[in-house]
Structure formats: C-alpha cells, structure tokens
Amino acid sequence: MSVGSESALPWGIPSLIPENRVRVNYKVIPSDAFVASPEYPDFQRSLGASSLAEIAAAARLWEELLDRNRDSFLLLRVADVRNVLNSKFTALRLYREAQQTVGAQGDPRFDQWLDTFEKETVAAMTQNQSIWNKAAIAASQRWKSIVGAPLPYIRLPKAHLQQLQSRCASLGSTSEPLYRAYLNLHCIETNVIEGAFVLGDVAIKRLIKTGFFDPEATILHPYEVGSSGDVQDCSTIINILKDTRTALDEVIERVSAERFELTSTAVCHLHAILMRSCRVLCVSSPGSAPRLTYTNVGQTRQATKTNVTIQTSQKTYIQFCPHAAVDRELDAVAKVITDPELKNKHDPFAFAAYISDLFVSVHPFEDGNGRMSRLLASIPLLEAGLPPLSISLSAKLRYHQHLNAVRAARDGDYELLAKFLFDTTLASIGFVMENR
C-alpha cells in the first residue's frame, strides 16, 4: 500500500467526485498488483471518459474491478461514485473500509468528515423510514407478508395448454433458431415493458434473429431507439440485452439440471447478472437533461436499507415489504418456487401468476424487480416444457392492473392473471413465427 498527495493523481472524471467530501492530504494509490494486472489499462482509459454514457460505462467498470479486487484505491473511487449518485449507505461502508485499510497513515480531517457523513446518512435514512411509514397507502395496497399467502386454486382448460404446446413445438428445441429467437424476444420485451429502452419494430425483428453477442451481426442504429425509453445509447442497450439473455440462459440451465435448487443467494446472483449494465446508467427523459443513476445489484434492500413505495394515478401509494423483512420474505419465495408438491398440484400458468405476485410484493431489490419476477415466474413453464413468459409493451397496462388486483385481493384467485400470462406468451410465439 502506498500513500501520496490526493491532488497528485489526475482525477479524470470530475462529475464522479463528491463536492461534499473533504480533499484529504493522503490518497491510497493503486497497488502494485492492480497496476500489473491486465485490467489496469482499461481503468486508465476509463479516466478519459467525457460523455455521460462513457462516464456511466467507466463507473460500471470500476464497480466490476472492485468486485474482483478490494484495492484501497478502488474503494475510494467507487465510494465517491456511490456518494455522488445517492447510494450513500453503501458509499459509507466503502469509505469505512478504505479508512481501515489506510489506518495510521490516514488524515484526521478525512476521519472527521466521515464521522459527519455517517451521521447525515443515518439521519436521512431515519427520515426516509418516517416518510415510508406515513405515506398515503390505499388499504388494499398495504404490504402483507407473503408467508401463508393463499395458493392458486384455478387451472387453465387443458385445451389452452394443448394449444400452447402445439405452438411451442413449432419453435423446435431450445437449440434451434426459432426457439432462440423467442428467447431473444423475451429479453427485449422484459426490458421494454419496464421503460429501460424502446426499439422500433424493424430493430426488434432483426435482433431476435441475430441475437446480441455477435458484434458483426448485432446492429442497432440510434434512429431505431425511441426517445421515450430511459437509455438512448445503443451499446448500453445491447449490453443490457446480453445480460438479460445470460441470466435467462442460467435459469434454463438450472431448471434442466438433475436437481433444481434455488435459494435467496442464487436469486441475488441472478439479479447481479441481469442488472450488470444497469448498475450505473445514463438515462434520459423527454424534456429533461440526461443524468446518471445508480442501482445496487445483487444486494437486497435489506442490505442497502432501502424502503420502496410506488405512487399510483390516484395519488396514493403501493407499499412493498419493509427492508428489515426482505431477506426473510425472499427466502420464503425461493422455497415456494422449488417446492415439488406445489408445482405438481398447480397449473404452470397459475403457479407463474402466484410467483409473480409474491415476488413483486416483496420487491427485494432497488430496481429490476419486474424483470426478475418474469424470469422466476417462467420456471414452472420451463419445467413443464413450455417457453418462458413474454409480455409485450402493448399489454403493459393490463399486466399491472392484473398484478394490482391479485395483490389487493390476496384470496388465491389468479385466474385473470394466469389467463393473461397465457395469452401474452402465446402472442409472442405468434410474433416469432410470423417474422421467421
């Protein structure tokens, strides 16, 4: 470990330096091991980022480097990113870790600043908890523990499943082009429905055939990206699609294993894969300047101490699981998904509807819960030899209406949501068949 003057290092990206952090007289510089690693040139190049999309990519790189190497230099850099992008509790943990690493070589001014920063962070978290407690929650949308939630008691008509199985057979096996195209469509639609990005029909039809991993075949032009989506940068969109497909492939592999297991730790692992390129994003909203956002990936809201509510059109809120109970509730969801007795008793689409409701109600992560819910709710379908769920943007409003309705009733009646999931999946298969 080496210590030098903080001002001696080129900071590179000014927008990722928190204004509130005192400039200390010491700075941990990169370790010899980090400098000698094959990743260090990538880090150096990242310091030249200028556009917001490039800065977001640089920040994601730093996060990934820190995941693999707890270098003191990276601890401070990534803590600064999180501080600037308002993930202050996780920034605080990294600042403390950096402080402990530096030890006696530290700067008392930094120690004093960090104590103040901790008090301010804890005070803000307390205030947020108070706001969560006092939010105007509709009686039907208050959070209820999923433990003991009534099981689905409906089954779709056999003719429905036979129809889907027949359509599914036309896609071929999982290794054949049409089935791969369907999986690619799932990846596109599950992101589009969340507003992550919007793509034109021509781009969608091309990408479901080419996939996302061949740099020569995977083409996306700026004019094919809609202005209403959060992400406008083409390379970032392709990376998000790669992450989604990688997470989906892992779920398919897990389901096909001789013994399928899913734990809350595995769910966090899948979330980290799925949201890898969403960790730091340059997002745009119509009429607003582009901005950077931060999402903790692979960590539940209990780990980040974050509460979540969503405002409805009636100016009331939907309340999700309090952060202190998230890990317990996520464990319960994982047990439900892998319970062989439950799976054998229930229709795959009814069980998919049940999983969707439970997971969204817990809302275990800061972001990506909708995408994760569709990934996990696809498991009973995959186990039944059916393709994963796929829901188009045109069905988004009905999808949310059905989810809110079953959440409000919590009486085991999943018929409308199950039928909806069946219809949208069947429609997506039809889309692939029509555009083969």
Which pLDDT does position 4 carry in this prediction? Answer: 33
Least confident of 62-71, 133-142, 289-298: 133-142
Residues 212 and 325 in one domain: yes
Structure-model confidence comparison of residues 252 and 317, the more confident one = 252
pLDDT at position 101 over 70: yes
Domain count, the chain: 2
Q: What residues have CB less than 8 Å from 401, skipping those under 6 apart?
A: none
Residue written as tokens 């036979």? 162
Which pLDDT does position 195 carry in this prediction? Answer: 94
pLDDT at position 261 over 70: yes
Which pLDDT does position 377 carry in this prediction? Answer: 96
Polymer length of the chain: 436
pLDDT at position 333 over 90: yes
Residues 117 and 139 in one domain: no
Residues 247 and 312 in one domain: yes
Give the whole-number percent of the chain exceeding pLDDT 70.
91
Residue written as tokens 């896609």? 171
Residues 244 and 120 in one domain: no
End-of-domain residue from the set 133, 150, 169:
133
pLDDT at position 24 over 60: no
Residues 7 and 143 in one domain: no
pLDDT at position 118 over 90: yes
Structure-model confidence comparison of residues 415 and 245, the more confident one = 245
* Cβ neighbours, 10 Å, residue 276: 20
Give the whole-number percent of the chain exceeding pLDDT 90.
55
Asked whether the beta carbons of 283 and 230 are under 8 A apart, the reply is yes
Residues 105 and 160 in one domain: no
Asked whether the beta carbons of 332 and 322 are under 8 A apart, the reply is no
pLDDT at position 172 over 70: yes
User: In which band, very low, low, confident or very high, does the pLDDT at 9 lie, cut at 50, 70 and 90?
Assistant: very low
Residues 77 and 158 in one domain: no
pLDDT at position 270 over 70: yes
pLDDT at position 70 over 50: yes
Q: If we measure between CA atoms, which residue out of 239, 237, 240 comes closest to residue 200? A: 237
- Alpha carbon 311 to its chain centroid, in Å, reads 20
Residues 387 and 287 in one domain: yes
Task: Tell me the average pLDDT across 365-383.
Answer: 95
User: In which band, very low, low, confident or very high, does the pLDDT at 11 lie, cut at 50, 70 and 90?
Assistant: very low
CATH of the domain at 262: 1.10.3290.10
Residues 116 and 166 in one domain: no
The span from the CA of 291 to the CA of 254, in Å, is 37
Task: Tell me the average pLDDT across 122-143.
Answer: 78
Q: If we measure between CA atoms, which residue out of 53, 370, 352 comes closest to residue 195? A: 370
Residue 385, by phi and psi: left (phi above 0), alpha (psi -120 to 50) or beta?
left
Residues 149 and 260 in one domain: yes
End-of-domain residue from the set 133, 162, 179:
133
End-of-domain residue from the set 98, 133, 168:
133
Residues 276 and 406 in one domain: yes
Residue written as tokens 């940068």? 233
Which pLDDT does position 28 carry in this prediction? Answer: 63
3-state secondary structure at position 419 = helix
- pLDDT, tens digit, for every residue of 191-227? 999 999 999 999 999 999 999 999 888 889 999 999 9
pLDDT at position 1 over 50: no
- pLDDT, tens digit, for every residue of 284-321? 877 788 899 999 999 999 999 988 877 776 677 778 88
Domain hosting 354: range is 135-434
Residues 233 and 362 in one domain: yes
* Cβ neighbours, 10 Å, residue 242: 18
Residue written as tokens 């083969």? 436
- pLDDT, tens digit, for every residue of 354-363? 999 999 999 9
Mean pLDDT of the chain: 86
Which pLDDT does position 313 carry in this prediction? Answer: 64
